[in-house]
Amino acid sequence: MIATPAHEVAVFILIYNGLKIGLLTLNEGVWEFAYTDEFKNQNTLALLVQFPDTGKVYTSQELWPFFSYRIPGLSQPAVQKIIKKDSIDQTNEVALLKKFGEFSVYNPFKLAWSN
């Protein structure tokens, strides 16, 4: 079972064509998503459906599907090969998102891990 580690701290940046859209952070077991000022000051891209208010900091103890869909099915042989090769804890949602989450077939955004 994939879980959010309570002790882990992580920061990801959601990007589209060089525009930093928002920050996804994890701290003390709580995920947060907030739009960047750069995104708020543009008028080309629409808001993400799951996050309709640019002034709000969204919080959740579970990773939103918009981001969790970036983690592939763990039963796939190619995914298992990568997990074993890179010694990734397949129960650690953050570790999986760092490894597999940069690009998704579900949307055109890039999710960059900021260390």
Cβ contact 83:90 at 8 Å: yes
pLDDT tens-digit series, residues 58-105? 999 999 999 999 999 999 999 999 999 999 999 999 999 999 999 988
Residue 26, judged by CB atoms within 10 A of its CB (0-12, 13-18, 19+), counts as buried
The answer to whether 18 touches 106, Cβ cutoff 8 Å, is no
Residue 20 pairs with which residues in a beta bridge? Answer: 15
pLDDT > 70 in the chain, percent: 99
Rounded Cα–Cα distance for residues 5 and 62 (Å)? 11
